[in-house]
Structures are given as C-alpha cells and as structure tokens.
Amino acid sequence: MFVVFQYYKKGNMKESAIEPEGPLKGLKVLELAGIGPGPLCAMLLSDLGANVLRIERNKPSQLGTPRDPKFDLLRRNRPSVSVDLKKKEGIETVLRLTRDAAVLIDPFRPGVTEKLGLGPDDCFSCNEKLVYARMTGWGQYGPLSQVAGHDINYLALTGILNAIGPKEGPVPPLNLVADMGGGAMFLAFGIMAAVYECQQSQKGQVVDVSMTEGSAYLATGNFGLNAAGTWTNQRSDNILDGGAHFYGTYQTKDDLFIALGSIEAKFYLQLIEKLGMNPENLPDQMDRSKWPMMKQKFTEIFKTKTRKEWCEIFEGTDVCFAPVLTFEEAQHHPHNQSRGSFIEIDGVVQPGPVPRFSRTPPAFPSGPPGFGDDTETGLKAWGFSTQEVKELSEKKAIGWQD
C-alpha cells in the first residue's frame, strides 16, 4: 500500500516508503467505510501519520456508483481491506481488529452496527479503551435519527441554509458546511479529545457527532448577531451574505469574478482610494440604507477592467481582495504554488496534508487503492497470520468478490 513518491519540494512533507509519518504516528484507527465526512476524517488522521485501516464492502453491487479509485480522493493514503460483514467470520475479523485499535469510526445510521454485532458494547468487550466515534447527520437519537438526509437537509434545520444565497432563494454551499465542516472536522476533534481523555482514565467511550449540531456550532457567531438584532432573515441583506457592497463578489469586464472582504474601516478606505473614489463624497460605510446604491456603483466600476487588471491593482494590498478562481486555476496561483498547497498523485492534482508541523511533518500521501487491494497485507500488518488470512479468504469472509 505505502509506496515511495517523489518528494514535493515546495511542501513541508517527508518522503516515506513504508511507515506513516507525522504527529499522529502510532495511533491505530479502524474505519468502517462510508461516504463524505467519515472518509475525510479518516484521511485527515492518516495524512497526519495515524495507522488507519479502512474496512470496505466486498462486492461491486454494494458500492453504489463506483469510479476509478484514483479519483476517489477521500480514500487516499490508507490500505483497503474487504470484509463481508454479513458473515460471522467477517464480524469476528473486525472485532479482533478492535483489540489493537485506539479508534473505530462508525459512519452508519444509529443501530446498524448493533445489528451487525459491531456496536459499542460488542467492541468494548474486546477493548475497553476503544474510542467509538459515530458519524451521523441527525445524531444517535431524536425524531429524525433514523431517516436519510444530506448536507442540504442538515443546514436547512439549523437556520444556516436560509441565510445563504440571493434574495430569491437559498443556495446550498456545496456539501462543505455540514458534511465536511460540521461532520468530518468535529469527528476528528471529538476523536482526539476522547483519545486524550483515555490517556487519563484508561477507558474508551462513544463519541456522538451530528452534522446538524456541528453545523449549528459553526454558526454560533451568527446566532449571536441574530439575537442582538444585527442580522436580518432576509438573504443578501447582511454584512457577510452579500448584502454589503464591501463584502461580496463582482463580475469583471471579461465576465470573470473577483471577491472583496473590506470590512474594517482602514481596509475599506484603501479600497475606495484604489477605485479612484473620494471618501468625502460617499455615505458612511456602515449605512445599510446606502448599501444597494453603493453596490450598484461598485458593479459598474468592476465591469470596466478585466480580472487580471484588478489583480494587478489589488493583489498584495490590504484591501482584502482575491480573484475568484476555478479548481484548475487555484492550483497555479503563485501563492498556492509557493507553499506547495497542492500535490499530484497518480496524475491527479489534489490538496496536500494540512495543517503543517515544524517538527513532525507528515509523509507524502499515497493514492487511493483499489477496493480490497490490501486485504492480505493489511490484516497481516494488524497481527493476522498467513494461515488465518488464507482460511478467511477460503470462507469468502474477506477479499474482493467480483
């Protein structure tokens, strides 16, 4: 699974051949395969050096709409072991793996692992120090806990979705806020908090991560603004939702876009001066009644130059400016290139591991493996003998089944 990759000279990563490197080296994690936030969390842990073993489904019919593994980036940098969780021997295999694991990631609906025989009590009986991390949309209990949902639904229930988009209607912010922010990041933080506590108590526990609650937590500041009466429920009417002329996007002469975030007065003054406007002839920056008029002025001004021309004027200043780039353009921006923010694995450009560490940098990550490619080597690395792997394979409890 772990192979040598060319050292990325602009990044802060070590070249690594076999063993993972990074601040989480030595942390053993079992990941029950899911989609979205669970894999992103597992990738984060693995990128930072954790020994993550991904337990995959073992038949093509169970994968939904599979794609070429090299593009399934959230599966990168960890071995793929196929286990049939419908077989007794498959369940016993996972339970045995939990004995040496510090963490198990459960991405299923509440109650699914209990029915399989892999619930918290089953796993704690094998390892009382295990951190059992559960990732769901609605949480482990509540009226909606058993129903399906996606990022857009969780955001709708928190008030966040209502605040995003034009006046005409809410717009989903991709699946970044609930799935990845409210889900994966809180799952990672919850795992590390529980691992830290376990070092004191020598006992594991269940971590219940709800994407709905995680999203709401991310919006804590907005709840404060709303309670104070300084946030309205009308979209594109507030300081951070595009209502303010100094915080938003504008189309340029070549039909591209730039982004402004000139909130602070000193930054706003620089913006006004570079636009060739006299501040003495303009209304107060925070006069909300004048925002629509100022937004129209800005719209007309930014249409007079190309995005490249605006970059030449604003980049490197404190105006709080950036061009709105595509995924492809972002890879080539000088700032991103100077830090080695993007790396290339198997011909696929993707974000590199973050955050960065001065003393324990992570290794260059390996690409996503084929489904079940590491079943034999992965199990052996976690203590299974050659004979045991052979017997499990003969029973079709493990291994990819075409």
Domains and CATH numbers, the chain: 28-219+342-394 (3.40.50.10540), 257-323 (3.30.1540.10)
Which DSSP string do the residues of 334-392 spell out, in sequence order? HHHHHHT-EEEETTEEEEPP-S--SSSPPBPPPPPPPTTTTHHHHHHHTT--HHHHHHH
Per residue in 281-294, pLDDT (tens digit) is 999 999 999 999 99
Q: Using alpha carbons, list the distances in angstroms from residue 19 to 16, 26, 188, 363, 364.
A: 7, 10, 21, 9, 11
Per residue in 22-41, pLDDT (tens digit) is 999 999 999 999 999 999 99
Q: What is the mean pLDDT of residues 130-159?
A: 97
pLDDT above 90 (res 309): yes
pLDDT score at 5: 33
Q: What is the mean pLDDT of residues 225-238?
A: 96
Res. 334 pLDDT band, cuts 50 70 90: very high
Q: What is the mean pLDDT of the chain?
A: 93
Shortest CA distance to 313 belongs to which of 369, 284, 272? 272
Res. 9 pLDDT band, cuts 50 70 90: very low
pLDDT score at 65: 56
Q: What is the mean pLDDT of residues 83-111?
A: 97
pLDDT above 90 (res 58): no
Q: What is the mean pLDDT of residues 212-231?
A: 97
Structure tokens at 216: 């709401």
Q: What is the mean pLDDT of residues 114-130?
A: 98
pLDDT above 50 (res 1): no
pLDDT score at 274: 97
Percent of the chain residues topping a pLDDT of 70? 93
Q: What is the mean pLDDT of residues 48-69?
A: 80
pLDDT above 50 (res 179): yes
* Helix (H/G/I), strand (E/B), else coil: 268: helix
Spatial separation of the C-alpha atoms in residues 213 and 159, rounded to whole Å: 11
pLDDT score at 15: 47
pLDDT score at 69: 87
Burial 308-344 (b: 16+ CB within 10 A, else e): eebbeebeeeebbbbbebeeeeebebeebeeeebbbe
pLDDT score at 359: 96
Q: What is the mean pLDDT of residues 263-270?
A: 98
Res. 275 pLDDT band, cuts 50 70 90: very high
Shortest CA distance to 133 belongs to which of 90, 81, 194? 194
Res. 62 pLDDT band, cuts 50 70 90: low
Spatial separation of the C-alpha atoms in residues 324 and 329, rounded to whole Å: 9
Per residue in 183-204, pLDDT (tens digit) is 999 999 999 999 999 999 999 9
pLDDT above 70 (res 389): yes
Per residue in 345-385, pLDDT (tens digit) is 999 999 999 999 999 999 999 999 999 999 999 999 999 99
- In this prediction the pTM is 0.93
Q: 217: buried, middle or exposed (CB in 10 Å: 19+, 13-18, 0-12)?
A: middle
pLDDT score at 400: 84
pLDDT score at 7: 32
Which stretches of 99-238 are assigned E, i.e. beta strand?
103-106, 131-136, 205-210
pLDDT score at 20: 78
User: Using CA of residue 349, residue 353, residue 356, residue 359, what is the dihedral sign?
Assistant: negative
Structure tokens at 298: 């800005």
What is the set of active-site residues?
A: 150, 179
Per residue in 146-172, pLDDT (tens digit) is 999 999 999 999 999 999 999 999 999
Identity of residue 18: I
pLDDT score at 4: 30
